[in-house]
Amino acid sequence: MSVSLLQLVENRLHEFNPRKPLLRPLMKRSAVALILQVRQGELHILMIKRAEREGDPWSGHMAFPGGRMDKTDAHGYAVAVRETEEEVGLALGPGDRCLGRLSDINARPRRGSLGMAVSPFVFHLEREVSFTPNYEVAEVIWVPLEFLLNADNREEMTWEFKGLKIPMPCYRYRERCIWGLSLMMLDELMDLIEGGRNPLRPRWRRRR
């Protein structure tokens, strides 16, 4: 099942035309790495729990390795590779195939800003690795993709924002909450796998 699921992901990504914001050249840029690996016969995806840091809007969140584009980065792919090594100590090389990319997501725009375009790149990792997280990462977690594909595991949380309590879709995997931008990326990946949007997986889309 895991091998056929991985092959399906690769095939669907090969055919996929990711969406990009029209004003992308004027936006700030960042990129993340969605890393897949078959572990104990089941396909998993690598996630991190970000360290609790004052001033970080994603402090303590479940996320994917990644970060902002520097002037030295030639493109989004380079950002994903560099940030993955910096954050978890994993140097993605030529043998760690990039299967494709998902659509850009416009991260939280600030007043007077066009926001930030986040580019997700999907990799297949076949080798055994160990991680050395830096100060930005509290822990590294492998999440079974089949757990996420099971709509019965979808839950709801309450997000408190500027005095409002907003119901949000999420997953709770081993007491870790997956929601927000990371969930939006996972939803698109799962839509590709399933050939369309699953109505049993309610979602939330932030207004642009």
What are the tens digits of pLDDT across the range 133-173? Answer: 999 999 999 999 999 999 999 999 988 877 888 899 999 99
**Is residue 67 in some structural domain?**
yes
208: pLDDT confidence band, cut at 50, 70 and 90?
very low
pLDDT tens-place string over residues 45-97: 999 999 987 766 667 899 999 999 999 999 999 999 999 999 999 999 999 99
**Is residue 125 in some structural domain?**
yes
Number of domains in the chain: 1
pTM, two decimals, is 0.92
**Is residue 27 in some structural domain?**
yes
Domain that holds residue 73: 2-147
**Is residue 202 in some structural domain?**
no
Distance CA 179, CA 185 (A): 10
CATH number, domain of 123, equals 3.90.79.10
Residue 207 predicted with pLDDT over 70:
no
**Is residue 54 in some structural domain?**
yes
Q: In this structure, which amino acid lies at residue 11?
A: N
